[in-house]
Structure 1
């Protein structure tokens, strides 16, 4: 079968199985990406979540020795939530980034790509294929850029002409030599809105991200969150959408092409207080099907505590005191103490002071003292 015919059949088939956009590129080395990754490594701008060596991430033949082409796919996800629940004084809510709305996109994207691979195998039984979504070695964005899915914006997201940057990406490496598609021209121009709006200055320059300062990364860490970022995180439980929300290319963009990605109100915007005492089983039953659960409940509970402090939620004080006193995890006890200090009620300060007498962990003690420092700040303001 001629590859040109198979390519068109794949394009037609992709539309039938819920793929919004498909592109083809060669399996050549990603030379420019290789140099960029080395530079990121030298500057310590990486998140640490990256898989594989730089060579594996930029040389497709290391992943599939017979590699000739890469098929890139994109599926749009919603940017707006219909009838979204509001956060109230009695019931404060957090927010998951849009990329964690609905069913875990890794599952959905992999299923679509495996259907493409099966379609290829029906036509060419001895074909070699390898499917990857996000957690694979290849850079989904680099592949998508070269395959003409979109251009890489200054916010480091792939921006498509049709769906903006609200798209999930995945790829299939194959030994079939498809004719490659042309890349799309970069259209950011002089615009720097994403860089200017980034809450932590993580976008160092157009297209370069310091992941160590990115809120999307920081919400996934498991240790104490550095002080400078606690006031920036707000009520974010997982991820950050700021650089996408301000992008002019995303104005008016809101696609609901895939039912699996529709947000569940109480999951995408969860009540914060119930998150504090969730058992592992409750956490898995509630959040286990979304991508934002992959790091477990600890980071999300820590973020929920910071969110309650951000809101100065006095209704949560008693529950937070219990967490500070009883939770076996130092990060959670310490963050609860800091957030209680930020809420700043007499009951909160008294509880922190009392907990100082029995706490043994040095980091938690440090956080408790920082919590009490808020009291001094209050008193100075009164003067």
Structure 2
């Protein structure tokens, strides 16, 4: 009986948060995704620098979160026409102007996610973790400089059960692939938590074939540092590339499923 009551409370809480998020998405005319991860599971799988980040954020609440805490994972999907702008070639030249539409959308989605995560954190007494550190790649000496500044939103989303880690090291959702940005919110109210999804990429190599860094990641000291240097050299308005996202949607094994990726 007590378990039924607890489950009812969890269900009510999750619906309140979900409806708040869906109303926000409706107003901004974007699609999104929502899930809840177990705090302890996420914490135990983060690198030490990011585990310490959680300790700093939570302070005296940390032990309580280890016992019962959750992390909300929110994602907002890119509009499909923006994905089409990635790595276009016109008259034999890379169309940087079009590519920057994707870069600018990246920054815009981050702002939306920061806004909605702060609103949810305020309404439900949580702690929002910003979608990015806000530090350009050119302003750090190595990718490891980022590690203590945030946590892996992708890992949170994995343990929330809203997608799996692809071979491009991004979160892959069944609905729209990897074409989304993520944010996380620490919260300690009763909620129904999701479960981690194992990879469904199988033998697909679409993202590996389009990116020599991903293709050789197992032979590199840290492929993420190679990516950082490439983004600096690419020189878009913001630190993005997106080639592996586009090819996953257009050429990957789920391309027919992702074909429904279109605006209402």
TM-score, with structure 1 as normaliser:
0.49
Q: Is the 8 A contact 2:106 2:181 kept in 1?
A: no
Structure 1 unmatched ranges of 5 or more:
39-52, 121-126, 226-232, 258-383
RMSD: 3.5
What is aligned with 2:105? 101
- 2:181 maps to which of 156, 165, 168: 168
Matched ranges for 1:18-33 at <5 A: 18=25, 20-28=32-40, 30=42, 33=45
Rounded to whole Å, the distance in 1 between the matches of 2:164 and 2:94 is 38
Q: Does 1:189 align with 2:187?
A: no
Count of aligned residue pairs for this structure pair = 218
Q: Deviations over 1:81-135 (max 9, x none)?
A: 499798469x984123735327532211111112222332xxxxxx343343132
2 CA distance for matches of 1:134 and 1:148? 21
Going by fraction, where is helix more abundant, 1 or 2?
A: 2
Q: 8 Å contact 2:50–2:151 — kept in the other structure?
A: no
Q: Among residues 208, 226, 229, which one is paired with 1:218 in the alignment?
A: 229
C-alpha distance 97-25 of structure 1, shift in aligned 2 (>3 A): same
- Give 1 or 2 for the bigger CA radius of gyration: 1
Per-residue displacement from partner, 1:187-241 (whole Å, max 9, x unpaired)? 0112222122213456524xx9602222xx22543xxx5xxxxxxx5x9676322
Which structure has more RCO (C-alpha within 8 Å, separation ≥ 6)?
2
CA contact (8 A) 1:25 1:178 kept: no
Q: Residue 130 of structure 2 corresponds to which residue in structure 1?
A: 132
Within 1, Cα distance between the matches of 2:192 and 2:176? 24
Cα gap change, 1:55/1:114 in structure 2, threshold over 3 Å: closer, same or farther?
Answer: closer
Equivalent residue in structure 2 for 1:252, among 221, 234, 259: 259
Runs of 4+ with deviation above 3 angstroms: 29-34, 81-89, 199-203, 235-238, 253-257
Match of 1:242 in 2: 243
Distance 1:69 1:83, change over 3 A: closer
TM-score by length of 2: 0.68
The reply to whether residue 56 of structure 1 matches residue 52 of structure 2 is yes
Alignment gaps of 5+ in structure 2: 1-7, 26-30, 134-148
Asked if the contact 1:97/1:239 (under 8 Å) is kept, the reply is: no
Cα displacement (A) at 1:170 = 0.3
Is 1:142 the equivalent of 2:141?
A: no
- Equivalent residues of 1:76, 1:168 under 8 A apart: yes
Deviations 1:172-198 (A, max 9, x none): 101224221122332011222212221
